[in-house]
Amino acid sequence: MKEWELIVDKDPLPGSLNMAVDEYLFRSLPSAPQTCVRFYRWERPTVSLGYSQVAERVVAVELCRRLGVDIVRRMTGGKLVLHHREVTYSICSSDASVFSMSLAESYRLISCALIQGLAEMGLQARLAGRPPHSYPRGNLPCFSYPAENEVEIDGRKIIGSAQKRVGPRFLQHGSILLESDAALLRQVVSLSAEIGQLRMISLAEALGRKVDFEWAVDRLIHGFEAYFEIRFKPRIFSAEEWRLIEEIERTKYASEDWTLRRRESPKLAIGIS
């Protein structure tokens, strides 16, 4: 039985620090097969932008500042996500024997494990089919439609994910809604995004009751263990690792030059750039 590393951040963290931790986990992957799964949440409502998105086309920057909504840019692709009342997961791996060398196949496998976790909660979810042709190229937010092989319940997206891959090594992270906040999402999205109907559903809505972070994470962990037939061991960062993580946060994710793409962000020499 394979042994994977597990991080559960019970205390909410700033968005910039969450992104720095995920990037550090990706950069520090060894060439030998290794997998780490992390669950976390956010200190304040935070909009995350996909790597290639043009900020002014998708997010109302000044309104976010007035509302106290943070903005970060992910190292992964995909569309705008409002992180608020949710469980966020990330998985970093260099194990091609489990996930293959394919972005699409690894994405599908992780979605299947997440579906197993939802089944542990008593929910019947499935892999989504292809969205409308206009969705991938447009500026709609992530939770407007389920993308292919994302996780949906009754045609509504409950988990949105994005991945970055370099050879056999990849980072995938995603948002699992505890409660939806469509009103705030509509406020923070740029007018040019032209939001229509939001095809999203939260755990609270699907289950008909409030769900807490710890309960949901426990069942998602069991889902990963059952689907991949692995066991977890806890991973704890050393003081030196925290120093490197905070350096990534300071020079990249806490910088508007990176977030709003005003100039090229500096690269750090601690692994993959």
Q: Could you give the CA distance from residue 109 to residue 257 in angstroms, rounded to a whole number?
A: 35
The answer to whether the beta carbons of residues 123 and 153 sit under 8 Å apart is yes
- List, in sequence order, every beta strand (DSSP E) within 55-140: 70-73, 81-83, 86-93, 126-127
Query: How crowded is the C-beta side of 19, counted as CA atoms within 13 Å?
Result: 29
End-to-end CA distance of the chain: 32
| Other Cβ atoms closer than 10 A to 191 | 7
Angle separating helix axes 239-248 and 15-27, nearest 10 degrees: 120
- Chain centroid to CA 187: 21
Active site residue 36: no
The kind and range of the H/E element at 185 are helix 182-188
Q: Which of 36, 64, 92, 142 is catalytic?
A: 142
Q: How far apart are CA 92 and CA 5, in angstroms?
A: 10
Total number of residues shown for the chain: 273
Catalytic residues: 142
